[in-house]
């Protein structure tokens, strides 16, 4: 008996050891991002307020009412967001089932047991039915906090599912904004290419007359005809891309692809940048990203899972109560004489489970370490996305400025060609070629502008919908 008590005491002391082993207790700092794997005391964790992600309407900074309406429509009707909302409800329901384990369980168990007896005096047989009508109460007393740890872990599961919903909202809003800008780009490019084709058609007619008159060689005409074919193929490609973008844009808003062909949209010249290239951006905003918060909640949930796995080695204490009726005659079962009452407490302690609890504890320890590495990985990817978006914005914005300056020179060259044509010192073919130069440079400028605008969307997304 003394040996058994000694083993019990040592087991309790062992179960109250730290969650992580000594080899994992030293702080670790990965790539300049501090992540302390040793954990903190519960009192310190409770004092630190947990961050909550709030999706800020960053799309309003573009001053486009149509874009605002489309994003609001997508946030309400997008099916990925609806799926994420359903998963939040699922996790809340699971939390409810686990939270219910804290409360006593009440049940009723009416039963009947036929029996036969033989009299020891007369030897006659007798039979009857033993009737029970008990009201049973079973309540596991959470003395060691087993259920409390499970509830806390489930609460963090709910928070993780909510952050998954926030991830979907942030992703969908950014996809809608990027698609909207690209659709406007396709409109501008298609309009310019249609004018380029009309320009080339007129140029070819003029050159064909010159060729037939023996004024120009065939290779001059052939080069323009080949440019015509190339431009027509470019236009077909742009038309195809716009159709695809319109279909995707409709699906993002939870609509049928056919309903996206005639959506209202702005003009490329009215689009504005939400901030300047030299705007200061607060790098701390990266910690407000929903995937970063989700990874943090994953670490906290894993900590409670480890604690719960350790407490599985402790006994369970149940309070049992039974109130009901018992009689061998159905007509008398509800009489006061048939009343029975029992109250007791029981202790359940597993002596041998084949190593299940030890393996389960090892699994949760390994899962906790995995969550720590996952948090580091999420942070590194977040920094990488932000740096890529900022680098892309700087490069595309510089290209946009360069092409904008080039447009001014192209327009000047076109005006000179018009003056020469009017004065008789120039010809129509040169004037048409000068106009094509303007249109081609406009296309390059439009591409750079939309690329820079999409980069700003990526910046907002990489920083969790706010730059400061």
Q: Which of 21, 348, 295 is nearest to 163 (CA)?
A: 295
Inter-residue contact 173 to 359 (CB < 8 Å): no
Distance CA 239, CA 230 (A): 14
Q: Given a cut of 90, is residue 187 above it in pLDDT? A: yes
Through-space distance between the first and last CA atoms of the chain, rounded to whole angstroms? 67
Residue 323 pLDDT grade (very low, low, confident, very high; cuts 50, 70, 90): confident
Q: Which residues contact 334 (CB under 8 A, 6 or more apart)?
A: 133, 325
- Determine which of 17-21, 278-282, 352-356 has the lowest per-residue pLDDT on average: 17-21
Q: How is residue 50 annotated by DSSP?
A: P
Q: Which residues contact 339 (CB under 8 A, 6 or more apart)?
A: 323, 324, 325
Residue 329 pLDDT grade (very low, low, confident, very high; cuts 50, 70, 90): low
User: 193 is written with which tokens?
Assistant: 């290419």
Find the helix or strand (DSSP H, E) in which 255 lies. Answer: none
Work out the angle between the directed axes of helices 146-212 and 79-99 (0-180°, nearest 10).
Answer: 170
Distance CA 105, CA 155 (A): 22
Sign of the alpha-carbon dihedral angle for 79, 85, 88, 90: negative
Residue 111 pLDDT grade (very low, low, confident, very high; cuts 50, 70, 90): confident
Q: Given a cut of 80, is residue 72 above it in pLDDT? A: yes
Amino acid 350: pLDDT: 87
CATH 1.20.1600.10 fits 27-462, yes or no: yes
Backbone angles phi, psi at 458, to 5 degrees: -65, -35
Amino acid 122: pLDDT: 64
Domain ranges of the chain: 27-462
Distance CA 286, CA 464 (A): 6
């Amino acid at each position: 008996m003394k040996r058994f008590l000694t083993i019990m005491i040592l087991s309790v002391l062992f179960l109250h050891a730290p969650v992580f082993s000594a080899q994992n207790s030293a702080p670790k700092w990965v790539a300049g991002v501090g992540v302390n794997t040793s954990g903190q005391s519960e009192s310190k964790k409770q004092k630190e307020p947990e961050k909550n992600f709030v999706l800020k309407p960053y799309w309003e900074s573009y001053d486009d009412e149509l874009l605002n309406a489309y994003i609001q429509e997508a946030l309400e009707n997008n099916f990925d967001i609806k799926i994420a909302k359903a998963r939040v409800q699922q996790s809340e329901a699971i939390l409810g089932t686990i939270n219910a384990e804290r409360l006593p369980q009440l049940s009723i168990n009416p039963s009947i047991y036929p029996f036969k007896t033989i009299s020891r005096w007369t030897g006659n047989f007798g039979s009857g039915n033993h009737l029970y009508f008990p009201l049973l109460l079973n309540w596991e007393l959470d003395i060691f906090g087993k259920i409390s740890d499970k509830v806390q872990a489930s609460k963090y599961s709910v928070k993780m599912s909510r952050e998954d919903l926030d991830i979907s909202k942030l992703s969908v809003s950014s996809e809608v904004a990027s698609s909207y800008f690209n659709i406007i780009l396709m409109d501008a490019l298609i309009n310019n290419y249609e004018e380029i084709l009309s320009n080339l058609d007129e140029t070819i007619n003029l050159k064909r007359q010159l060729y037939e008159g023996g004024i120009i060689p065939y290779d001059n005409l052939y080069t323009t005809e080949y440019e015509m074919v190339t431009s027509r193929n470019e236009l077909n490609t742009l038309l195809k891309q716009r159709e695809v973008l319109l279909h995707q844009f409709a699906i993002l808003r939870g609509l049928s692809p056919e309903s996206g062909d005639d959506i209202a949209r702005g003009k490329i010249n009215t689009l504005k940048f939400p901030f300047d290239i030299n705007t200061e951006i607060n790098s701390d905003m990266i910690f407000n990203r929903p995937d970063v918060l989700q990874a943090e909640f994953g670490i906290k949930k894993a900590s409670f899972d480890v604690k719960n796995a350790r407490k599985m080695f402790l006994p369970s204490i149940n309070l049992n109560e039974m109130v009901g009726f018992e009689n061998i005659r159905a007509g008398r079962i509800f009489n006061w004489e048939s009343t029975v009452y029992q109250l007791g407490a029981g202790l359940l302690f597993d002596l041998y489970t084949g190593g299940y609890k030890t393996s389960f504890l090892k699994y949760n320890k390994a899962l906790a370490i995995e969550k720590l590495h996952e948090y580091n990985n999420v942070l590194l990817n977040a920094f990488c996305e932000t740096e890529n978006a900022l680098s892309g914005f700087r490069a595309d914005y510089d290209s946009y400025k360069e092409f904008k300056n080039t447009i001014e020179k192209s327009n000047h060259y076109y005006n000179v060609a018009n003056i020469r044509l009017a004065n008789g010192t120039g010809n129509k073919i040169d004037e048409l070629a000068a106009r094509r130069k303007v249109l081609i440079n406009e296309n390059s400028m439009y591409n750079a502008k939309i690329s820079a605008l999409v980069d700003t969307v990526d910046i907002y997304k990489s920083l969790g919908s706010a730059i400061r």
